[in-house]
């Protein structure tokens, strides 16, 4: 049973609606930058007067097209993203004036080299770790280089004022997003994790940041009221936290199932979750440095070492009163698959909570097995 | 009051009737192509034996891969909880239960009589009963003959992680004139290694307990225990662990 609002719009509806809006924006001369990852400093795109749009592949459909060029044994997110581009079936890719990407995991960065043959792709050189002596410096240089690239490609000028405004605007969006996520801390949770996950991914198709903020604030207020009126003091279902790889592509297969099988999905410790929202960009210093610092702090498994992820996870387990952790590992994602060793140890030994990893891809072939595992996990929590 | 546990696996459907103190009936039926039909057969079978699943005097829990097809069950639970419960009852205590089933292999750690952790093999059927079945077919023998042959052989190495490729490896070994004993020994060895590898991801317990269809085969249990470096217990009722667990849980939860 899912608690969805009456006017709930699923991801594919939101994605479709976005097409028309984006087309209008393009016709009015707006520039569009396609992005894939939480490491992308979207403030720079906004400061360049362009709109960022997420192109992260969440569907199974374009994978066969991608497998003509990419190895089969590759993360479905990478195959799906490339498949949309190469088969020319994603209007957002089509409308993008350029692609902005980063050297995150090996699969992605090598895929971007191929994507560059389809459309100009600027790949920022993200350092492989935060602790290296040159990490911050080189990432800062990458910010400066990005300014030049955007100015050239989009035929514009980025002023420091524009950038400061964009930083303030995005910080406000982060706060609104975080407040929305934190509804999940209420017990029993008045919101479906399916809705949280859908809104976060669909938000990428709303091109006006002010509008995004307004939508989030409105929904948060509604949910708070709903909690007071209908949930407070009632018993709670088991509370699950999702961690690991991006979960948008397995939203129906895993997130929906967890809730239908009797638990509440209350928190996401992955790249669409609060971890990146909590941490704002400093507003009182060199904006390029502030951006470099903030985006280097993101604790994705592509960073080595990455103890900050465990710290953030620990905080979330407490704040969201979590009863069990399910980690999503997309097939062939090495960084998360390896880091799951540490996550499992931390969750089970230090936090004393049940943990389960689900390795899966975007296909429907393992739905039965996934269901059995989730059911068994919930029976154990019970 | 009677408590019925039904475990519909991919190859066999096991049923146990428990009266609160003793097992008063047990039987196995092959799972046909439709688990719904199998569930119907079980109902008839039970009725003939004098148990009416619809009466107020019985409580039924269904488990296994066909569990949702048992429409007359009062509750459904996964194989994990049921095998954990049943296995620990048979084992008379805590430990790690290794269930090598037709479709998947499960490793279940039981503490204080309940399943607390589990692992299942991924999508692939290597390391499951299915793998042995497919290979036995390929060799033109039944499963018991395959084990009998294997005991006399010196295992060849089968390196493929995937049943489909492993099958072609076996075919090429047959072509290369390797003896049937050595090939079958290699087949058993490959399943044993895979199961042991999966089991090694859970902490080593005081006792391992092998359940599921393959538990009936002493040679398999022996090889597994050599691989794990620890005793692996089996018992005649091993195949019924899931059904027994379901019946016991019915007695516990559905009084
Ligand atoms: S998981 Fe890491 S690399 Fe992948 S999109 Fe998220 S932040 Fe980027
Ligand atoms: S899920 Fe893993 S393999 Fe896939 S793109 Fe993200 S980091 Fe790379």
A333 touches ligand 2 (CB under 6 Å): yes
A363: pLDDT strictly greater than 80: yes
CB contact under 8 A, B80 and A376: yes
CATH of the domain at A128: 3.40.50.11890
∠ CA A314-A315-A320, rounded to 5°: 105
B5 near B15, Cβ under 8 Å?
yes
pLDDT score at A5: 80
For every residue of A250-319, DSSP letters joined together read: GIIIIIIHHHHTT-EEEEEESTTSGGGTSSPPPSSS-HHHHHHHHHHS---TTSSS-HHHHHHHHHHHHH
Interface A-B, measured as beta-carbon pairs within 8 A, has a size of: 35
| A202 CA to centre of ligand 2 in angstroms | 20
pLDDT of residue A1: 64
- Whole-number Cα distances in Å, B7 to A94, B18, B77, B185, B205: 52, 14, 10, 30, 26
**Which range, of A12-16, A132-136, A178-182, averages the lowest pLDDT?**
A12-16
Task: Please indicate whether, in this complex, the C-beta atoms of A373 and B79 are within 8 angstroms of each other.
Answer: no
Q: What is the DSSP letter of B155?
A: P
Whole-number Å distance between alpha carbons of A334 and A356: 17
Torsion sign (Cα): A148, A153, A154, A156: positive
Protein residue whose Cα sits closest to atom 4 of ligand 2? A75
Q: List, for residues A46-69, the tens digit of each pLDDT value.
A: 999 999 999 999 999 999 999 999
Of B115, B118, B122, the CB nearest to A359: B122
CA distance B115 to chain A (A): 7
d(CA A42, CA A50): 10
State which of A104, A126, A299, A335 you would mutate to test the pocket of ligand 1, scoring each by most atoms of that ligand within 8 A of its C-beta.
A104
In a domain, A91, yes or no: yes
Structural domain total, chain A: 1
Domain-embedded: residue A329: no
Nearest ligand, measured from the Cα of A105: 2
CB atoms within 10 A of CB B172: 10
Distance A87 CA to ligand 2 centre (A): 21
Nearest CA to ligand 1 atom 5: A37
A239-244/A264-269 β-pairing = parallel
Neighbours of B83 (CB within 10 A): 32
pLDDT at A334: 97
Residue A295 resides in a domain = no
Q: Is residue A130 part of a domain?
A: yes
Partner-chain contact A375 B78, CB within 8 Å: yes
The CATH number for B2-81+241-253, chosen from 1.20.1260.10, 3.30.420.40, 2.60.260.20, 3.20.20.10, is: 3.30.420.40
Q: Are A135 and A69 in contact (CB under 8 A)?
A: no
pLDDT digits (tens, 9 = 90+) for A159-174: 999 999 999 999 999 9
A256 in any annotated domain = no
- Residue A206 belongs to some domain of the structure: no
Record: contact B65-A373, CB cut-off 8 A? no
Report yes or no on A364 lying in a domain. Answer: no
Host domain of residue A111: 11-156
Instruction: Convert the pLDDT of each residue in A256-290 to its tens digit.
Output: 999 999 999 999 999 878 878 889 999 999 999 99
Domain boundaries, chain B: 2-81+241-253
**What pTM was computed for the model?**
0.92
Q: Identify all chain B residues contacting A369, using CB atoms and an 8 Å cutoff.
A: 104, 120, 123
Whether residue A114 is contained in a domain is answered as yes
Q: Per-residue pLDDT for A94 more than 90? A: yes
- Can you give the pLDDT at residue A44? 98
For residue A61, the 8-state DSSP code is T
Q: Which residue stretches of chain B have pLDDT < 70?
A: 122-126, 161
Query: What gap in Å lies between CA A205 and CA A198, rounded to an integer?
Result: 11
C-alpha dihedral (A225, A226, A230, A235), degrees to nearest 10: -100
**CA proximity to B215, closest of B231, B200, B229, B235:** B235
Q: What is the pLDDT of residue B126?
A: 66
Nearest-by-Cβ selection for B123 from A366, A375, A379? A366
């Amino acid at each position: 049973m899912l608690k969805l609002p009456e006017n709930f719009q699923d991801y594919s509806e939101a994605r479709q609606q976005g097409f028309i809006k984006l087309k209008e924006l393009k016709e009015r001369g707006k520039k569009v930058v396609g992005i894939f990852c939480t490491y992308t400093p979207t403030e720079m795109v906004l400061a360049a007067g362009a709109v960022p749009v997420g192109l992260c592949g969440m569907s199974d459909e374009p994978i066969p097209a991608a497998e003509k060029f990419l190895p089969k044994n590759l993360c479905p997110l990478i195959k799906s993203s490339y498949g949309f581009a190469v088969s020319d079936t994603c209007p957002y890719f089509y409308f993008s004036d350029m692609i902005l990407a980063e050297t995150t995991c090996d699969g992605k960065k090598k895929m971007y080299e191929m994507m560059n043959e389809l459309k100009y792709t600027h790949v920022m050189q993200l350092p492989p770790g935060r602790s290296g002596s040159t990490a911050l410096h080189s990432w800062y240089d990458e910010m400066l280089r990005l300014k030049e690239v955007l100015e050239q490609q989009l035929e514009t000028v980025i002023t420091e004022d524009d950038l400061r405004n964009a930083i303030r605007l995005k910080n406000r969006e982060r706060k609104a997003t975080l407040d929305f996520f934190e509804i999940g801390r209420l017990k029993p949770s008045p919101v479906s994790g399916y809705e949280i996950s859908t809104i976060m991914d669909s938000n990428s198709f709303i091109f006006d940041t002010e509008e995004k903020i307004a939508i989030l604030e409105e929904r948060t207020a509604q949910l708070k009221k709903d909690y007071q009126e209908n949930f407070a003091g009632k018993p709670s279902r088991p509370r699950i936290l999702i961690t690991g790889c991006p979960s948008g592509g397995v939203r129906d297969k895993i997130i929906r199932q967890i809730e239908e099988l009797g638990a509440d999905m209350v928190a996401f410790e992955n790249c669409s979750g609060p971890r990146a929202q909590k941490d704002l960009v400093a507003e009182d210093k060199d904006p390029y440095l502030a951006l470099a610092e903030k985006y280097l702090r993101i604790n994705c498994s592509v960073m080595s070492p990455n103890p900050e992820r465990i710290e953030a996870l620990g905080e979330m387990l407490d704040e969201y009163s979590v009863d069990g952790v399910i980690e999503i590992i997309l097939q062939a994602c090495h960084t998360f698959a390896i880091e799951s060793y540490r996550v499992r140890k931390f969750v089970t030994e230090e936090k004393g909570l049940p943990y389960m990893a689900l390795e899966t891809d975007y296909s429907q072939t393992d739905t039965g097995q996934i269901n059995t595992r989730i059911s068994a996990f919930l029976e154990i929590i019970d | 009051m009677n408590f019925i546990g039904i475990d519909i696996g991919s190859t066999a459907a096991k049923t146990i009737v428990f009266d609160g103190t003793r097992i008063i009936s047990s039987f196995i039926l092959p799972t046909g192509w439709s688990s719904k039909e199998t569930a119907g057969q079980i109902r008839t079978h039970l009725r003939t034996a004098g148990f009416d699943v619809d009466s107020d005097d019985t409580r039924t829990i269904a488990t296994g891969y066909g569990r949702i097809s048992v429409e007359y069950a009062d509750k459904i639970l996964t194989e994990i909880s049921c095998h954990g419960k049943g296995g620990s009852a048979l084992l008379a205590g805590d430990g790690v239960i290794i269930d090598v089933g037709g479709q998947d292999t499960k490793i279940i750690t039981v503490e204080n009589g309940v399943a607390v952790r589990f692992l299942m093999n991924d999508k692939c059927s290597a390391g499951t009963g299915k793998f042995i079945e497919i290979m036995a077919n390929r060799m033109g023998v039944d499963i018991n003959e395959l084990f009998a042959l294997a005991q006399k052989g010196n295992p060849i190495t089968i390196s493929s992680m995937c049943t489909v490729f492993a099958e072609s490896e076996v075919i090429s070994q047959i072509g290369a004139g390797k003896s049937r004993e050595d090939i079958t020994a290699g087949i058993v060895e490959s399943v044993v290694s895979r199961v042991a590898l999966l089991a090694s991801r859970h902490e080593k317990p005081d006792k391992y307990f092998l359940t599921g269809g393959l538990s009936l085969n002493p040679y398999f249990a022996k090889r597994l225990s050599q691989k794990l470096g620890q005793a692996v217990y089996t018992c005649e009722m091993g195949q019924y662990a899931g059904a027994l667990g379901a019946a016991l849980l019915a007695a516990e939860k559905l009084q």
